[in-house]
Structure 1
Amino acid sequence: MAPCIDPLRCPSYAVGCQADPFSGALYDSCCVSATGLFVFAQNFTTGLSYGPNPWTRNQVVSEIGARFTLHGLWADNCDGTFNGTKYIEPGHIKNTSLPDYDLYGCDKARSFENAAQVLATRPSKARLTKWMKTNWRAGDGDDSWFWSHEWSKHGTCTSSFNPSCYGKAFKKYDDFFDFMEVSIQVFKGLDVLSAFKAASIVPSDTVQYNITQFNAAHKAAFGVEGGMQCVKRDGVQYLSEVWTYMNEVPGHNFKAIAPIPNAFQSCKPDTLITFPLTGFKTAL
């Protein structure tokens, strides 16, 4: 992790999206990210993300089963807006008709598409790669592209991971490795499936639930409601993702907060939600 900066610039009470109550100034961007507000997204199997490759959906979901996997830690501005995706070199992947997906968010120089190769440069991080191959999955099997995308679009927009925050101790890719490690720790602290089970909400192909039940379960477990995202196929509304809104606090830590006003939820409140056990294989 990045070393702590001067405590005068990063007091222990610092919180993203809030000014220092004593000075009225914003906190140092290496203390808590200048954006301050984050969305932490977890995919249920119906909401897997896809890169540019041909879909191999049923193979991947069979490996995952009916559970949540990590999607990403997304830096938003304090009003809920965010930096749009930019293309490094718009075009097509060489020798294919597929679009070129080399995207970035805030720093082209630190963006890349070969996360698996970058991970392999540090044998000491083998456990990290192993965990990601199980719990951070792309629906088309192109996990490396997915990890690259999450770093390049979102990690480079998280200012507390900027190389300048590390000082002379910084080595190339420290920012990437730390961002992935922190994302994983947040995921481990937000066990949505267990939260739902504690409220008697379990994956089922026959029992349906409403959005109020999901949000109540999220609040009971984590103190705040979340953002429920759904996809609709053949007239059925399926839970696809769960978003948790968060603020950054010093030390690359994140705390759950209530959804911002007008927070986006794609699940329709007037339609029951299927949280599928086996039907997820044909939900999309």
Structure 2
Amino acid sequence: IAEAVVEFPYSRIYDEYDFKEKSTLVINDLCAESCRIYASITADSKKYAANLLIQLPKGFISTADVAAKVDTSTGQKLFLEITKTASVSIVNVNSQMAAGPFVLYVVNSAEIINDSEVYEAEGMIRPVSTVPRYITVMSARLFTIHGAPLPRMKVISSAQGFIATMSGFDRMEDGNCPHLYYTINYRSPGFKMEVNGPILTIEYDYKKKEISATIGIANKFDGAFARNGWIGSPGFHGCPGLQPYRVSTIPSSSRHFTHRSRISNLRVSIWR
């Protein structure tokens, strides 16, 4: 697989297939004014990411070091910011130009939403005392994201909502990527979404209930269709005209979903 990059108008998502058997990858235009680079790796691929080197005006920084950038007080992923650089080079100095499971999210800073947060899926627990506009979760491994239900309250002033897309936060603004999960309710019913790809962004309006993530998907949807939910094929994002995600930890063959609950209301949408 070559050129696995998924190229959005203001961001790009790369994986290890963009680096395998290549000495250099060049990112054009996104950082001409300013950009942010987020990275996600696995424990096994860290040794390869340590030899994928981002060229800076003075020296290099490895993608492993970018992936390790975390705010220890909040758990949020931090980023590498690059300014005034029309072309950013990433050099592969691994033996035989190898690469392992890896996700790189590069976003133009003009599209940065100040009220947004980015997390690594592994170990993510975010108590929702305040809610940012967008929460993005990344992982080089498949993951499951959980939202706790909100108990019934006697007085509720207005309905609240939840939207999810398989994209970075920059794609929530224009609406071109479909809302794969969408609900508006006077209390959160809770959710559990198995993410068959490297990135998910949610717009979350329910207050005071935590969001968490765990690595892996169960490949079972017992009771999933008794409430709002969705399932997707490997690498699917639904954004028109773009190839699917291809991280090697995403299975390339079709998955088989097991469902044992009664379905009362099911809508099937097919994107081409």
TM-score in same-fold range (> 0.5): no
TM-score by length of 1: 0.24
The structure whose RCO (Cα within 8 Å, separation 6+) is larger is 1
Indicate the structure with greater strand content: 2
Indicate the structure with greater helix content: 1
TM-score by length of 2: 0.25
